[in-house]
Structure 1
């Protein structure tokens, strides 16, 4: 692999606190990213916003406004994780699909390619910039746009199961599954829109638990215990 799109769960970055950031967790992630970048891999990153915002909690808020708050949550996450990456010695750039003053750069494919050529880790914040689309969909969109070899999906759960392992203790994990099966069975690897886009664009995924020791490095090196999603 030469280029990957790493999707980080906001909830996973919160660690045992379940909200906000767990600095030790984020430093551990940044050090792993540093290792794979030093090995020559180009890394783009999308981060969910679940450690700050989980969408509407009642019918009193418009979906579009709730989604805008979620977009802002992802920007906060990218600013924080980007700065921790710089702390461990990486160069970074944050892109958003809308203007955020001096906080980020406005997304364009040409600018992103320049950042990769300069050896930077590229953060894609703000989702797609539109309501009704999740960070899962933004992940696939950016992965396709930058011609990533694969999506690395780092979650709070260690792979794809036939049912929710938090609810069903007898849930069975898949070692390998096709994206067609994920779509047909409506498995919760990503939301359905993102899964269908992966299917149409033939974008493979490696799904694993972020909490496992050295999980990102192991996944890149082909030593992981998560789920391989084939196309």
Structure 2
């Protein structure tokens, strides 16, 4: 089956430089899985920094989005390099269009994308990729280990969700979605509505917990959050 991985930029570059250990571990996890994959890479802190700088220099939101998208595609190239280095059958071009992903997704074990167009977050991109290639499972890999009712890094009493319905996730997204490039929220409103319409089983796990990542990919129990019907 096809599985889409939405890998946050702060998982790829968590502290100012690429996390080589994570990239290698991710590549090996994909290699040993019997699934096929679509991977959508976010921009993370790098994208947020560039988008903020662009705004300070007088750029509008379209320009800030475009700059952030460039960061996502650089991250996608790193992921592609890790996969190729591990001997994974990965399509050797970062795709920028969902329609163009369909053929390579049929012919290769893995296809990799970054952001697509201004105004669309990589959260939404990942769900659109899942719809395009017929994936019924999406794994969101970030620097947060699950979905919480508030930011657990700021609120030690934040409530963690192990299971959620689509409507619950939509409600949570509604309170934090600012629709600006580089803003940080668990999953944006449009992405939430898209997984609901296509009934895509969605898992939220941390890149720091590879056992959870592996289990989520295979649809097994893990310590993150599962969103489903």
**Structure 1 and Structure 2 fold alike (TM over 0.5):** yes
CA distance in 2, matches of 1:117, 1:145: 11
Query: Normalization by structure 2: what TM-score?
Result: 0.86
State the partner residue of 2:61: 63
Identify unmatched segments of 5+ residues in structure 2. 176-184
Distance 1:108 1:173, change over 3 A: closer
Structure with a larger share of its residues in helix: 2
- 1:151 and 2:138 are equivalent in the alignment: yes
Using the TM superposition, give the Cα deviation of residue 70 of structure 1 relative to its aligned residue in structure 2, in angstroms: 1.1
Which deviates more, 211-220 or 177-186? 211-220
Runs of 4+ in structure 1 off by over 6 angstroms are none
1:83-102 superposed matches below 5 A: 83-93=81-91, 94-97=93-96
State the partner residue of 2:7: 8
The number of aligned residues is 213
Distance 1:195 1:167, change over 3 A: same
Query: Normalization by structure 1: what TM-score?
Result: 0.85
- 1:224 and 2:222 are equivalent in the alignment: yes
Structure 2 residue aligned with 1:163, among 150, 158, 165?
Answer: 150
RMSD across aligned positions (CA)? 1.8
Task: Name the SS for the 2:210 alignment partner.
Answer: coil
Identify unmatched segments of 5+ residues in structure 1. 98-106
State the partner residue of 1:22: 19
- 1:199 and 2:186 are equivalent in the alignment: no
Using the TM superposition, give the Cα deviation of residue 167 of structure 1 relative to its aligned residue in structure 2, in angstroms: 1.1
